[in-house]
Chains A and B, each alone.
Chain A
């Protein structure tokens, strides 16, 4: 099972919006609506910010939103803030009860 494909880095200015893509296959992202996204600050454990493609856990700002089209999922962050600077990972449920992560995207807030 190959890792999902994410851009290595994205950047944006405070107040702007950015989108991070996550491309898989018809065996993972394309087959199931079980894509989740995680935010990881340096030296910290990952934190769940989106699950089941577009749902937000309690406490996650509505500036974070998720979507999916075909084999590609996307995370959109609007109204960028300095605290959003972090690494972001997507994950998907896949055939044979496998889970797979993306390679991660470093978000820089300029």
Chain B
């Protein structure tokens, strides 16, 4: 069974750094893209960017370019999303999702809730 398991909820202060993870199970990690999707409280889904696990080719949404970094560690079949300096406005649920084919996010992680507050 294909599964994505995300790291747990985090509470951070503005200006702190953070790296969250998404571990893949049940398929060949290096043959698929992994995407990160933000959902702010009470709001819709926003595509942040995607990374091809085979060669780390990464595409970012213009809205998130320069704000976050997406990476993979092929040795542990894990994708990461990181911030160097969090803002209160980064408070949201973050989902990773596997891309099957060109446009379908076919498997989703359970989500990681990030709360940024002073």
Contacts and interface: CB of A to CB of B under 8 A. Distances in A.
B47 A36 contact: no
B50 A99 contact: yes
Interface footprint category on B: 20 to 34
Given A48-B106, A51-B100, A104 B62 contact: no
Contacts of B105: 36, 38, 46, 48, 91
10 contacts: A32-B103, A34-B102, A45-B111, A51-B101, A51-B103, A52-B101, A91-B105, A93-B103, A98-B61, A102-B44
Interface of A: 1, 3, 32, 34-36, 38, 40, 45-48, 51-52, 57, 87, 89, 91-93, 96-104
Interface of B: 35, 37, 44-47, 50, 59, 61-62, 95, 97, 100-106, 108-111
